[in-house]
Structure formats: C-alpha cells, structure tokens
Amino acid sequence: MANTDIDSTGAGKAGAGKGGGGEVSDRTGPGPVVEHIISHKTESYVALFGHPLHAQTVHFPIALSFAVLGADVFYWYSADPFWLRAGLWAAGFAFVAGVAAGVFGTMELLLVRGIRLRVASWTHAIAAVTLIAILGTNWGVRFTDLDNTLPHGLMLSILGAVFTGVAGWHGGKLVYDHGIGVMIGSKVTSSKR
Ligand code: HEM
C-alpha cells in the first residue's frame, strides 16, 4: 500500500509527503483502506442461474418466525389447541429454514472476499446466527412439552420477531447500501443508452 498516512476513519491524506510538510490535504476520495475494500467484487457466489440462493431462502424463516408469534397470540386469546400445534410446526420449519438460509449466507460470507472484508456483513451474520439460535430454542421448548408454549414459547416468539427484524434489516442494508450479492446481468451491460 503506497500511502500509509491513514486517519481514524480510514481516509488517507494524499497531499501528505508531497511538496513538504504541513500542507492541509485537499483529498476528497475514500482513502486507501476503503479503496482496498471496494476494489474486491461482491457478486453472489452461491446462485442458481444468476439468482442468489440466500436471497431466495431468507423469506421462509422471516415469514415463519412471525407465523409462530401469530399462532401463540391466537392460542393465548382463544385457548384453541389447534394454535398450539400450528405454533409447534411453524417453529420447527422456521428453525430448519433458518439453518438452510444460514448455510447459503455463510458460504457467501466465507467465499466472497469483498463480502468478507465488510464489517456490515459480520454484523448481519451475528444477528442472523442469534436469530437461528432463538428459533431453535423456541422449537425445542415446545417439542419437549407443548405446555411450554405459554409463557416461554410466546416470549421466545417475541424475541424471535425482534431479531428477525434486526437480521433482516442488516441483510437488506448489505444489498441496498453496499450492493452485496448484486449481479449485473448481460441485459444491463449490453443496453445502449
Ligand atoms: C449464518 C447466517 C447468515 C449469514 C452468514 C448471512 C449472510 C448474508 C450475506 C452475505 C448477504 C448478502 C447477499 C448475498 O450475498 O446473498 C445476506 C443478505 C440477506 N440476509 Fe443473510 N445471512 C445469514 C442468515 C440470514 C437469516 C437467518 C436471515 C433471515 C432473517 C437473513 C436475512 C437476509 C436478508 C433479508 C438479506 C437481503 C437479501 C436480499 O434482499 O437480496 N440472513 N445475508
């Protein structure tokens, strides 16, 4: 790396060292650290016909996590045992779907250097793994005894819904703020303006 004069934000001072000391830098670019990070590709590696598998699978744990919460609230309100069974099945599939989505997400994180280098990717991964742990616990407490649905299952469902929001929000930021996983198709690159 040519420029080693890096401030706390990672931005370098291009003017430093040129034409004597004491000059105030007029550099407005992102700096060498950021330039290094953005120089690496972030296209999805785990994709089917150009469609990232993680993005395709995350909808299931998201929807099922809220479905468990809905079933618990309906059971609390109605005492109808149908909602107990619905909550048990939804919790089980939420966990399995979360693990499946997590496998694809982990592959992207570990295999794609540009994704691995970004702190935001790890923020999302930590929130997502915490979510998967909550989903598994929520299933486990009901699987061992359905009477655990109230209150422990309901409390875990609320926690799961909160973490679904946190993990989903950070996942969305990866795509829409950082452009991670986005693959520019040939129809775009070949289009005439
Ligand atoms: C071990 C767990 C996980 C890791 C390491 C991980 C990693 C990633 C990565 C690298 C991306 C960028 C897009 C891509 O490369 O496909 C992403 C996007 C995303 N992730 Fe995860 N993920 C994990 C689990 C989850 C789970 C359980 C959810 C469910 C809440 C989730 C929700 C999302 C969302 C909503 C996006 C944006 C997808 C889009 O709109 O295209 N992730 N994740």
The whole-number mean pLDDT for each consecutive block of 10 residues of the chain, a chain of 193 residues, reads: 39 43 64 84 92 97 98 98 98 98 98 96 98 98 98 98 98 95 79 57
Residue bearing the CA closest to ligand 1, atom 22: 105
Residues written for the chain: 193
Distance between CA 163 and CA 40 in Å, rounded?
A: 30
* First-residue to last-residue Cα distance in the chain: 37
Give 8 Cα–ligand 1 centroid separation in angstroms.
Answer: 29
Query: In what helix (H) or strand (E) does residue 32 lie, and over which residues does it extend?
Result: helix 32-38
pLDDT at 31: 86
Q: Which residues line ligand 1 (CB under 6 A)?
A: 44, 52, 54-55, 58, 61-62, 98, 101-102, 105-106, 108-109, 115, 121, 124-125, 128-129, 131-132, 164, 167-168, 171-172, 174-175, 180-181
pLDDT at 44: 93
pLDDT at 25: 56
Instruction: Supply the DSSP symbol for 12.
Output: B
Q: Render the burial of 59-90: b for 16+ CB within 10 Å, e for the rest.
A: ebbbebbbbbbebbebbeeeeeeebbebbbeb
Residue with tokens 């309901």: 154
